[in-house]
Amino acid sequence: MKIWKGGARVRNKKSEWAYRLMTLPGLLLLVLFCYVPMGGIIMAFENYVPSRGILGSEWVGLENFRYLFSMPDVSQVIGNTVIIAVSKMVLGIAVPVAFAILLNEVCSVGFRRVVQTIVYLPNFISWVILGTIFQQMFSANGLVNTFVQSLGFEAIPFLSSGPIFRALVILTDCWKGFGFGTIVYLAAILSISPDLYEAATIDGANRFQRILHVTLPGMLSTIVLMGTLSLGNVLNAGFDQIFNMYNIMVYDYADIIDTYVYRIGLISMQYSLSTAVNLFKSVVSCGLTATAYIMASKFANYRIF
Amino acid sequence: MGKRRYSVVDIIIYAVLTLGTVLCLLPVLNMVAISLSETSAAATGTVYLWPKKFTLASYQKLLSEANFFSSFMVSVKRVLATLLVAMPITITMAYALSKEKKYYRERNVVMWLAVITMMFNGGLIPTYITIKNYGMINNFWVLVIPGALNVWNMIIMMNYFRSIPHELEEAAMIDGAGAWRVLVRVFLPISLPTLATITLFTVVNSWNDFFTGLVYITKTAQYPLQTYIRSLTVKIDFTSMNPAQLIERMKVSSITFNAAKIVVSMIPVMIVYPFLQRYFVSGLVMGSVKG
Amino acid sequence: MAAGMLTSCASSSAPTSTPSNTEALSSAGTEDSADWTTPYSEPVTVSIGRGGGTIAWPEGEDIENNAFNTWIKDAMNIEVKSAFFLTDGNDLKQQIALSIAGGDIPDIMIINDPLQLQQLINAGMITDLTDVYEEYASPLLCAMVDSYGGVEKAWSTAYSDGRLMAAAELNPGFQYAMTWIRQDWLDKLDLEGPKTIDDLFAICERFVEEDMAGNGQTIGMEIDKDGNLAGTYNSVGQLDPIFNNLGSYCNLWYDDGTGNYVNGSLTQETKTALGKLAELYQKGVLAKDFATRDYQASIASGYCGVVFGAWWIPSWPLNQTVNNNPDAVWAPYLVRVAGDNDYHVYNQNRNTYWTVVRKDYEHPEVLIKLLNCSVEAQVSFDGKALSDEETAALDLRVPNEVLNHYFGLANIDWGAWPLNVTLRFEDQMLKIAQQQMQQVEDYQTGDTDSLTETELANISSIVSYMDGSDTSARAQEYYMRYTAMKMMLDENDTVKIKEVYYPVTTKTMELKQANLIAFRNETFFKIIMGNEPLDYFDNFVEQYNAQGGAEIAAEVNAQAKSE
């Protein structure tokens, strides 16, 4: 429903300038603190030596990338990264969404607040500590296996079997982060107009149908947005977590790009190589995000952001 | 909602939520327990939910560190300054970018400029050199300004603003309101849950970030709390012949000390979050535009 | 130290060590040395970037304002400023890298990464210190450096093209790994302590069979999974006593007798040692999950019977066992191979930290002067607070009140001096051990006058434990350290030190070393666990060499021979 009175056009010009003014400080910050340093990306194409500086180091073109891709195991490592990151992404959306929906269905405000606060707390425990805790908990004689064995089963080799370790990584990461996602999705749910719920109830929808036809659609834009933004992380897969939890026995399943590069000692003092790795990751994330955006735009006529 | 009978589904929901909560609560209790345990007992890895050989030594050490309170104040200043600087910038930018292209021509360009900074990064060295050239090393504002615009928060806010029905805005504009007034009088009051969300994230991020202080501030007295706490290490020379030193240094091990550090970092959240939760209330006020 | 050693300092003639033989030093000519404490006519400022652990300054003091810096300013007119002070090793590396990249490094830096040192040298960012050392090093510092065989040997890792580019640490020897066993378990089973490695293995098997720790968790030997199995001097939880006595110097480089330097991880002796470890694994002496477990937690819980480590490990981690199990007693042993009277060890890694001066700093001698202070501080802290006579004999220039200013306070020691690198005489630990033997004897004969309060506390605990009147954990800790030192002294004649070579990181090492070590550890773990047969070792050696091991060997050999 457009309202185009004569005066509106003038107001639009004024509004447009207001919008420009509103984005100006933010843009200034972005330019000063993100785009200016971004020039440093050329380090990826140089043989950077700190004492020579960024402009003084020798240009080597794609040599760094060629070197990285010729490392042994590189395709396995990339494969691990993608598998782990995609799994984390999927769980990282499904679980908080479900949890937020359930939380919303609860009447007791007190209960909800307590739950909201507590599930956010694991987010604050660094992987350095959690790594040790999980290594102990899931070790051959740890808590979990003691429990499993008391039920009569064999001990599960969480820390020494590659595939199982990978699952462990994905699940523990989900556990640590779902409180964070819950906040965002809960806020989204609360933004849905109560009128819509009323209307649905009047039409005879039960709780499940209300969730399906009111809550979920109301959250859809947020879900799509969060999903797309996490696409930007698809090659990250969690260095801190894996570095602090893994061990030699599971390298072939759990080595991701960042831990592999770190282990090879490529990070220390080899700034060009680490910049090249990051550039590679950035290009892939950007490509994926742009693809998602374009597809949504073309096929669903929807702008993700 | 008045009293009602709880159905089976309700019970299941409560059960699932309780399970999730308990799973998250356990490691927090574990942290607290370890931080209150004696070092050797904690070293065995068998401290679960209750301290073994209770001792406050880790906290005493933490709080007795010379710069603890000064760095605490630096962090408080940092959070307040960040809120004052970051929130207006983020909110106004989110609002402007929530407008469609026909109302704001450069919208898509600016949007992509912002998104790209989330994916591409110059890296630590170029960023350090840049900030050094701006003269911000050892300057309090380096803790506030470079990170003031969190693009992620901004996009979340923008996404929410976009979902607000156009009718609301048009109605206000017909009544003579300009863009600013619409933002403040119309949009903000109905954005409370999302506003509370990004406020929470802003507070948490600026309180817990240790890295900025570590790299850009070299005077310990000017460290924010998390950077300061991180710098407190327990380094023991076991070849020392001095019993007083050996005894003293064994009171607190890195295991118990690190646990205490984490508990301390969770406290602000546990204070701020419940306070913000009252804004997690439902519903747009649709009263102004009906039918 | 041999007499007739080349002295590289202007002054000292007869190098000796402290704390006992101070008489010889007093005859060292001091007239020749530039009096390094002469104050500058104009104030000189120096900014220092360093690391170290947290220092518990007294009220009102910090890293720039403290008793030591005040004296440095008053006596030498040098103002010490702190450019950065980072307590984590990786943070320190990062800050140094940023300083280099940002184009302004502090006047003096303490470096903990040999690669960074190479970078600085190659970039020409640091000053040549050869002459400055000659001129300004105090007799004490010279004597200390000479105890390692002269400055070129002591600081070999800091030389480039024959010039001294950095002053490094000096880590003393006499801290090799011993075998620590649960004496209470031995007593319960009525067993004698082990003399040979086979004895040790048999004892471990018995421990496991009899499940000494209860609840089925008993392990014979505990291993630090992150420790590369062997090759780090003065460590805990590595298997050097087994490897070395079987002739293997795993993870180290040494001359195989023909002038060719080999990598100890690739030798047949290492293969033999691995075979024995594999047998132990099958018998349950090694934990089934040793590759993933937290060995410290296991020690603290009292699950294992044997741990390998240096003389000080009763202070940590062994005290954790005793704190949690008051009946536990750990005792040291030196275990050899049957038929071989010698106990085989290797020499220490002398330098792991370096101090450098940036090029164009007008007063590079400030580094040496500050090092002189650090040396005096360490000598004073290590032994005991020195008396005035001893101070004079050592020609210490820093007054006693300053040196002893923080003595006895917890969490603050010589590291509070501007430069906190370890500087000790090569035989310092040996001398300290001898001193402690003497002190215990004196105490037992009632002669306690020469002991300070802290020493009294230490020695009386030891003696009380010996006569059974004090069986607390603390007394046991001091007693066992004493016992270990005594054992090392008594059997010193049978200790054969293999001279190993610690190479400066080479080009190929930079890129491939970390991967090779990971490959090596993975393979060794697999062999020990039985996932691969022992003969796979030969295949491993081939692969290792192909993946870069051979290149590195060539580079190391070139490096070693050019010295």
Q: Provide DSSP, C447-491.
A: --TT--HHHHHHHHHHHHHHTTS---HHHHHHHHHHHHHHHHHHT
Residue B245: per-residue pLDDT: 67
Q: What residues pair up with C126 in beta bridges, in sequence order?
A: C358
Cα angle for residues B240, B243, B249 (degrees, 5° grid): 75
Residue B41 counted as domain residue: yes
Same domain for B115 and B236: yes
Q: Classify the C-alpha dihedral B5-B6-B7-B9 as positive or negative.
A: positive
Beta carbons of C510 and A251 less than 8 Å apart: no
Same domain for B24 and B138: no
- Report the candidate in B23, B20, B187 with the shortest Cα–Cα distance to residue B98: B187
Provide, as residue numbers in chain B, all residues whose Cβ is less than 8 Å from the Cβ of C317: 43
Side-chain-facing half-sphere of C450: CA atoms under 13 Å: 16
- How far is the C-alpha of C39 from the C-alpha of C369, rounded, in Å? 11
**Shortest CA gap C412–chain A (Å):** 27
> Can you tell me whether residue C356 is helix, strand or coil?
strand
Residue A303: per-residue pLDDT: 83
Provide, as residue numbers in chain C, all residues whose Cβ is less than 8 Å from the Cβ of A251: 518, 522
Whole-number mean pLDDT of chain B? 85
Same domain for B114 and B217: yes
Provide, as residue numbers in chain C, all residues whose Cβ is less than 8 Å from the Cβ of A135: 292, 294
Residue B233 counted as domain residue: yes
Task: Give the number of A-C residue pairs with CB atoms closer than 8 Å.
Answer: 73
| Neighbour count for residue C438 (Cβ, 10 Å) | 12
Same domain for B179 and B107: yes
Residue C243: per-residue pLDDT: 94
In chain B, whose CA is at the least distance from the CA of C85?
A: B218
Nearest by CB to residue A232, choosing from B118, B122, B286, is: B118
Amino acid at site C136: Y
Chosen for mutation from A249, A260, A263 (greatest number of chain C CBs closer than 10 Å) is: A249
This prediction's pTM:
0.86
Last residue of a domain, one of B32, B55, B78: B55
Residue B257 counted as domain residue: yes
Same domain for B223 and B92: yes
How is A191-223 classified by DSSP, letter by letter? TS-HHHHHHHHHTT--HHHHIIIIIHHHHHHHH
- Report the candidate in A180, A173, A168, A194 with the shortest Cα–Cα distance to residue A253: A168
Q: Tell me which H or E stretch contains A104.
A: helix A74-104
Beta carbons of C54 and B44 less than 8 Å apart: no
Beta carbons of A184 and B123 less than 8 Å apart: no
Q: Count up the domains in chain B and report the number.
A: 2
- Residue A107, Cα to own-chain centre: how many angstroms? 31
Cα angle for residues C80, C82, C85 (degrees, 5° grid): 140
> Which alpha helices (DSSP H) does C328-415 contain, by range?
365-382, 388-393, 400-403
Residue B291 counted as domain residue: no
**Do B210 and B227 meet the contact criterion of CB atoms below 8 Å apart?**
yes
| Neighbour count for residue A47 (Cβ, 10 Å) | 16
**Residues in B 242-281 with any Cβ partner in A closer than 8 A:** 258-259, 262, 265-266, 269-270, 273-274, 277, 280-281
Beta carbons of B45 and C95 less than 8 Å apart: no
> Can you tell me whether residue C252 is helix, strand or coil?
coil
Three-state SS for chain B is: CCCCCCCHHHHHHHHHHHHHHHHHHHHHHHHHHHHCCCHHHHHCCCCCCCCCCCCCHHHHHHHHCCCHHHHHHHHHHHHHHHHHHHHHHHHHHHHHHCCCCCCCCCHHHHHHHHHHHHHCCCCHHHHHHHHHHCCCCCCHHHHCCCCCCCHHHHHHHHHHHHHCCHHHHHHHHHCCCCHHHHHHHHHHHHCHHHHHHHHHHHHHHHHHCCHHHHHHCCCHHHCCHHHHHHHCCCCCCCCCCCHHHHHHHHHCCHHHHHHHHHHHHHHHHHHHHHHHHCCCCCCCCCCCCCC
Q: Tell me which H or E stretch contains A151.
A: none
- pLDDT tens figures, B28-75: 888 899 899 988 888 887 888 889 889 898 898 888 887 888 899 999
How would you classify residue B33: left for phi > 0, otherwise alpha for psi between -120 and 50, otherwise beta? alpha
- pLDDT tens figures, B85-132: 999 999 999 999 998 888 888 899 999 999 999 999 888 889 999 999
C-alpha pair distances (Å), B89 with each of B80, B84, B198:
14, 9, 12
In chain A, whose CA is at the least distance from the CA of C215?
A: A141
In chain B, whose CA is at the least distance from the CA of A1?
A: B167
**Residues in B 205-244 with any Cβ partner in A closer than 8 A:** 208
Residue C14: per-residue pLDDT: 36
**Residues in A 237-266 with any Cβ partner in B closer than 8 A:** none
- How far is the C-alpha of B119 from the C-alpha of B117, rounded, in Å? 5
Beta carbons of A159 and C289 less than 8 Å apart: yes
Q: Classify the C-alpha dihedral C442-C446-C449-C451 as positive or negative.
A: positive
Query: Does A247 contact chain C (CB < 8 Å)?
Result: yes
- Report the candidate in A233, A244, A238 with the shortest Cα–Cα distance to residue A127: A244
In chain C, whose CA is at the least distance from the CA of B215?
A: C95
**Do C340 and C245 meet the contact criterion of CB atoms below 8 Å apart?**
yes
Residue A267: per-residue pLDDT: 63
Amino acid at site B27: P
Residue C493: per-residue pLDDT: 92
Same domain for B170 and B39: no
Residue C18: per-residue pLDDT: 40
* Assigned token pair, B255: 């295991």
- pLDDT tens figures, A192-231: 888 888 888 888 888 888 888 889 988 898 999 999 988 8
Beta carbons of B243 and C82 less than 8 Å apart: no
CATH numeric code, C178-347 = 3.40.190.10
Domains and CATH numbers, chain A: 70-299 (1.10.3720.10)
- Report the candidate in A109, A170, A169, A89 with the shortest Cα–Cα distance to residue A135: A169
Query: Does C93 contact chain A (CB < 8 Å)?
Result: yes
**Do A23 and B99 meet the contact criterion of CB atoms below 8 Å apart?**
no
At C242, phi and psi to the nearest 5?
-75, -50
At A40, phi and psi to the nearest 5?
-65, -10
Interface confidence, given as ipTM, is: 0.85
> Can you tell me whether residue A228 is helix, strand or coil?
helix
Residues in Cβ contact with C215 at an 8 Å cutoff, skipping those fewer than 6 apart: none
Same domain for B1 and B84: no
Residue with tokens 């740890």: A142
**Do C305 and C218 meet the contact criterion of CB atoms below 8 Å apart?**
yes
> Can you tell me whether residue C331 is helix, strand or coil?
strand
Beta carbons of B235 and C84 less than 8 Å apart: no
**Residues in C 462-501 with any Cβ partner in B closer than 8 A:** 474, 477-478
Share of chain B above pLDDT 90, in %: 36
Residue A237: per-residue pLDDT: 83
- How far is the C-alpha of C205 from the C-alpha of B119, rounded, in Å? 57
In eight-state DSSP terms, residue C351 is: -
**Shortest CA gap B241–chain A (Å):** 32
Whole-number mean pLDDT of chain A? 86
Beta carbons of B24 and A122 less than 8 Å apart: yes
**Do C298 and A141 meet the contact criterion of CB atoms below 8 Å apart?**
no
Provide, as residue numbers in chain B, all residues whose Cβ is less than 8 Å from the Cβ of A190: 193, 280-283
> Can you tell me whether residue C280 is helix, strand or coil?
helix
Amino acid at site C524: F
**Do A120 and B269 meet the contact criterion of CB atoms below 8 Å apart?**
yes
Residue C181: per-residue pLDDT: 95
**Shortest CA gap C62–chain A (Å):** 29
Residues in Cβ contact with C216 at an 8 Å cutoff, skipping those fewer than 6 apart: none
Residue C4: per-residue pLDDT: 29
Share of chain A above pLDDT 70, in %: 95
> Between C268-282 and C507-529, two packed helices, what is the crossing angle to 10 degrees?
40
Same domain for B74 and B34: no
Residue C382: per-residue pLDDT: 67
**Residues in B 9-68 with any Cβ partner in A closer than 8 A:** 9-10, 13-14, 16-18, 20-21, 23-25, 27-28, 30-31, 45, 48
**Do B247 and C413 meet the contact criterion of CB atoms below 8 Å apart?**
no
Beta carbons of B121 and A38 less than 8 Å apart: yes
Whether the per-residue pLDDT at A86 is higher than 80: the answer is yes
- pLDDT tens figures, A137-154: 888 777 888 888 888 888
Query: Does C515 contact chain A (CB < 8 Å)?
Result: yes
Beta carbons of C294 and B245 less than 8 Å apart: no
In chain C, domain spans = 22-173+350-416, 178-347
Provide, as residue numbers in chain C, all residues whose Cβ is less than 8 Å from the Cβ of B243: 454, 457-458, 461, 474, 478
What is the average pLDDT across B147-154? Answer: 93
In chain B, whose CA is at the least distance from the CA of C52?
A: B235
Residue B114: per-residue pLDDT: 95
Residue B284 counted as domain residue: no
Whether the per-residue pLDDT at A2 is higher than 70: the answer is no
pLDDT in tens, chain C (563 residues): 333 222 335 443 333 344 444 433 433 433 334 578 888 989 999 999 999 888 888 888 888 999 999 999 999 999 999 999 998 888 898 899 889 888 889 999 999 888 888 888 888 899 999 999 999 999 889 988 998 988 888 998 898 888 999 999 998 889 999 999 999 999 999 999 999 999 999 999 999 999 988 888 888 999 998 888 998 898 899 999 999 999 999 999 999 889 899 999 999 999 999 999 999 999 999 998 888 888 888 899 899 999 999 999 998 889 889 988 999 999 999 999 988 899 999 998 889 899 999 999 999 999 999 999 999 888 877 655 455 566 567 778 888 788 878 876 777 878 889 998 988 888 888 888 888 898 898 888 887 777 777 778 888 889 999 988 888 888 999 999 999 999 999 999 999 999 899 888 888 887 788 788 888 998 999 999 999 999 999 999 999 999 889 999 999 999 888 76
**Shortest CA gap C153–chain B (Å):** 25
**Residues in B 102-141 with any Cβ partner in A closer than 8 A:** 103-107, 110-111, 113-123, 125-127, 129-131, 134
| Neighbour count for residue A107 (Cβ, 10 Å) | 12
* Assigned token pair, B2: 């008045």
Same domain for B229 and B156: yes
- Chain B interface, Cβ < 8 Å to C: 38-41, 43-46, 65-66, 124-125, 128-129, 132, 214-215, 218-221, 230-250
Beta carbons of C82 and B45 less than 8 Å apart: no
Same domain for B121 and B234: yes
Residue C106: per-residue pLDDT: 95
**Do B245 and A107 meet the contact criterion of CB atoms below 8 Å apart?**
no
- How far is the C-alpha of B130 from the C-alpha of B148, rounded, in Å? 16
In chain C, whose CA is at the least distance from the CA of B137?
A: C102
In eight-state DSSP terms, residue A45 is: G
CATH fold label, C22-173+350-416: D-Maltodextrin-Binding Protein; domain 2 (3.40.190)
Cα angle for residues C197, C200, C205 (degrees, 5° grid): 130
Task: Give the number of B-C residue pairs with CB atoms closer than 8 Å.
Answer: 120
Beta carbons of A268 and C515 less than 8 Å apart: no
Query: Does A129 contact chain C (CB < 8 Å)?
Result: no
Return the partners of chain B (3 or more C-beta pairs < 8 Å).
Answer: A, C
- pLDDT tens figures, A242-279: 998 888 888 889 999 888 888 776 666 678 888 899 99
Query: Does C493 contact chain A (CB < 8 Å)?
Result: no
What is the average pLDDT across A83-111? Answer: 91
Residue with tokens 């309780």: B18
- Report the candidate in C438, C475, C437 with the shortest Cα–Cα distance to residue C458: C475
Segments forming the whole domain that contains residue B26: 1-55
Strand segments (E) across C264-350? 304-309, 330-333, 343-346
Judging by DSSP bridges, how do beta strands C44-51 and C78-86 pair with one another?
parallel
Beta carbons of C113 and A248 less than 8 Å apart: no
How is C388-403 classified by DSSP, letter by letter? HHHHHHTT--S-HHHH
**CATH number of the structural domain spanning residue B103:** 1.10.3720.10
Altogether, the residues listed in chain A come to a count of: 305
- pLDDT tens figures, A14-40: 888 889 999 999 999 999 999 999 999
